[in-house]
Amino acid sequence: MHILYDMFSKEESKKIRQEFWTTFGSVYPRKWLLYNTKIKDVTLKFTFTTKLAQVSIDIEPSDEIIRAYYYDKFLSLKNIISTEYLNDIIFNEFYELENGKVISRLYVELPNVSVHNNNTWEDTMQFLQEKMSKLEEFFLEYKDFIDS
């Protein structure tokens, strides 16, 4: 049996995704840090697929040594981030993206939600807003250390 939300065309799926992000932006109208971290190749990201939602810090330089350097910086802050900001944060030094690219990612995840199922949108928006706010707070507090 096929699940209904797997049966959307690419165009329909794109439209639904745009609708979600437009709705999210109107419910939580603020400027997020995201790509504006001022650290090259270190970004904060929202992800919402047909399976899960994530809020993450992605470390994705092409140079492995630089990636490992930044990952180790974040790893040294693991106790702080997991006790003061996001107790359910996951550290993955070798996170594989859907396109096969390997990055380092620190993230929190909300499973069993789908961008194609608007019944999960409200919970997902609350999750994204709450977790990204905490991730930004952590990042801004420790940015100078991370970038030193």
Q: Residue 147: pLDDT above 50?
A: yes
pLDDT tens digits, residue range 49-104?
Answer: 999 999 999 999 989 999 999 999 999 999 999 999 999 999 999 999 989 999 99
Between CA 29 and CA 41 the distance in angstroms is 26
Record the pTM.
0.89
Q: Rounded to 10 degrees, what is the CA torsion of 18, 21, 58, 80?
A: -170
CB 34, CB 21: distance < 8 Å: no
The total number of structural domains that make up the chain: 1
H or E segment at 21? helix 10-27
Computed over every residue of the chain, the mean pLDDT equals 92
Between CA 71 and CA 65 the distance in angstroms is 10
CB 44, CB 132: distance < 8 Å: yes
Domain that holds residue 121: 4-146
CATH number for 105? 3.30.1460
